[in-house]
């Protein structure tokens, strides 16, 4: 792959990593709030609060910067594997994914009143879509 593209991917992934660090900071702040400890600013001084935020953003940015070549290699290999698939199998897999998502959505709507199960709705989506995609591949062989 071109070096300019790889460097652009590294920069983009480090920005995404920084945003993940920011998201984790907000998540931890909300978790502390829910547990009754208050915000970070209630526990530590303002300068320490800012340092925690900066360290988390920089740490996640650096982590994703160094992981990005492996992610790029994995994406290229996935693209090669998808190019080798027949068009019919690729199309039917996409149709199966859409049907699996619709089934998962309808399943989630039936159990939406139960708060405990609602927290696991993303896991339910992935499981049903996974079985839908792999169920189709077993029928075509």
Asked if 68 and 13 count as a contact pair (C-beta separation under 8 A), the reply is yes
92 and 66 both lie in a single domain:
no
H and E: helices and strands count for the chain? 6, 0
* Segments forming the whole domain that contains residue 106: 85-141
**Angstrom distance (rounded) from CA 24 to CA 139:** 42
Give the per-residue pLDDT at 140.
46
Q: What is the distance of C-alpha 42 from the center of its chain?
A: 31
Q: Which helix (H) or strand (E) holds 99?
A: helix 87-110
What pLDDT band is residue 15 in, cutting at 50, 70 and 90? very high
Give the per-residue pLDDT at 134.
58
Last residue of a domain, one of 83, 105, 128: 83
Asked if 93 and 136 count as a contact pair (C-beta separation under 8 A), the reply is yes
Give the per-residue pLDDT at 33.
84
61 and 102 both lie in a single domain:
no
Q: Which residue has the higher pLDDT, 124 or 50?
A: 50
64 and 92 both lie in a single domain:
no
Give residue-wise pLDDT tens across range 68-114: 888 888 888 888 888 888 888 888 888 888 887 787 777 777 666 66
> Average pLDDT, stretch 49-56?
88
49 and 110 both lie in a single domain:
no
**Angstrom distance (rounded) from CA 141 to CA 119:** 36
52 and 17 both lie in a single domain:
yes
Last residue of a domain, one of 83, 117, 132: 83
Q: What's the total number of domains in the chain?
A: 2
Give residue-wise pLDDT tens across range 24-51: 888 888 888 888 888 777 788 888 888 9
**Angstrom distance (rounded) from CA 85 to CA 75:** 16
Give the per-residue pLDDT at 84.
86
Would you state the torsion angle of the CA atoms of residues 127, 89, 94, 131, taken in this order, to the nearest 10 degrees?
-10
Give the per-residue pLDDT at 26.
87
């Amino acid at each position: 792959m071109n070096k300019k593209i790889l460097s652009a991917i590294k920069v983009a992934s480090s920005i995404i990593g920084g945003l993940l660090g920011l998201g984790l900071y907000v998540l931890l702040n909300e978790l502390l709030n829910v547990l009754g400890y208050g915000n970070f600013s209630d526990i530590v001084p303002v300068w320490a609060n800012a340092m925690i935020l900066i360290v988390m953003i920089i740490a996640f940015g650096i982590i994703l910067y160094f992981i990005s070549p492996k992610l790029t290699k994995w994406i290229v290999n996935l693209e090669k594997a998808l190019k080798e698939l027949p068009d019919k199998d690729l199309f039917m897999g996409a149709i199966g994914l859409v049907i699996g998502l619709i089934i998962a959505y309808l399943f989630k709507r039936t159990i939406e009143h139960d708060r405990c199960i609602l927290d696991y709705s993303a896991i339910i989506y992935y499981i049903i879509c996974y079985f839908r995609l792999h169920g189709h591949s077993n029928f075509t062989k």
